[in-house]
Amino acid sequence: MLNNNLETIKEEDIQKDNFLASTINFNIQDKTAKSSPSNTEDIYLFMSFDLENGTKYKNHNHDSWLRLFCDFYIFINDKMSTDFSSTYTIHEWKKIGDEVLLYCRITENNQIYNLLEESQNTINAWNNIKIKGINRTRFCSPLRAKATLWIADVHHCDDCIVNEKKEHSSSIKCIHNANNYLIKEKNKFVLQEFEELEAELVKYTDVLQKISESSTEPSLITKGEERYKRIKQNIINHSSEIDFLGHEIDVGFRISKFSTPGTITLGAKLAYFLLTSSTTDKTIVNNIKIVGYEKLKGIWRDRRYPIIWYARDFEEINFLYDDKLENEFINNFYKNIKDILKENTKNNLELIFEDTGYLKVIQKIMEELNSLVEKEVKVV
């Protein structure tokens, strides 16, 4: 499983080690639970990226859809992680069909705006570059990326762990009362893999010892020790699956069906923060607009929820010629664009929150977010 000779350590060995987690269904290292104090609540930003017409493409391209979807997963993860790798970590939550879900714990007040902008850059990059290689002879509908972003205050604690027996709901033990939870589920396969690797690492230690006694190249020893630690830490960190449950987590899944290429759909709480934050670009008031209202299952006791789009320039959105014929919200947007652009989204959201009884809750979360200060080192 591991090379038994440090002389053979190459860059591909490091790539294989980093890929180890993905082979057991975890391809981004997760330190969230370890980095946060037990029994606390933190604000998390959730990001959903999926492909328009992904299901249609899969049904018409049985020989190539899997490769395309995997390319999409890798593209999103790489693009979202590259610019922030030295500041704060973006984690992959899960994949659902042609959708990939990411999350990030918010540790500073300008983090959300930065991630919004990078999300827009990411879907633009996919739509401008990646879809050019699609086989249009069998599939003429465009495979454009679209995104949904939302925030939630999430409670996480050491006792929110799913036990091995899952026959009934009491297998999840948590003494806390919260709207949203981060839970951890022990993964038997990962633990078994860890035991096997631990045995290999013992052998690897012996190799390190022998080479340290005879080698004249200290860099080899250092490189080997780093590889040892990296493999072991990867397995330890991924011994539990991370999942999120709760009312505000559901919001993102409900509003994502109103997402469209060319815009980003925002949760109401996230939109309000962006419009009130002192760290947000002031011109954003022109970039966040309510385009409709919908009843969402299990959300706001059947009161209509505002469907909110973000676009860098609403008058220059690159919709396709038949988008307004196929999409009710795009059609309504075109019909009412002048009135939509005149509306004050911040004031409208405050009225909505007050009418629904959420204003004080929202304002409390906004205060918490705005109190976060920029740090030189961010721990996620």
**Domain limits of the chain?**
1-30+188-237, 31-187+242-371
Neighbours of 146 (CB within 10 A): 22
- CA-to-CA dists, residue 151 to 81, 106, 256, angstroms: 19, 9, 13
Q: pLDDT digit of tens for each residue in the chain (380 aa)?
A: 334 443 444 444 444 344 333 333 333 333 333 444 445 778 999 999 999 888 888 888 778 788 888 889 989 988 887 655 556 778 889 899 889 999 999 988 788 999 999 999 999 999 887 555 554 445 556 788 999 999 998 887 655 555 544 444 444 445 455 678 787 766 555 556 556 666 666 666 666 666 666 655 556 556 666 666 665 555 555 555 778 888 899 999 999 999 998 899 999 999 999 998 866 677 888 999 999 999 999 899 889 999 999 999 998 887 888 888 888 888 888 899 999 999 999 999 999 999 998 888 888 888 888 787 544 333 33
CA pair distance 371, 361, nearest whole angstrom: 16
Q: Is the distance from CB of 7 to CB of 220 less than 8 angstroms?
A: yes
Q: Which CATH number fits domain 31-187+242-371: 3.40.50.2300, 3.30.70.20, 3.30.70.1230, 3.40.50.620?
A: 3.30.70.1230
pTM of this structure: 0.73
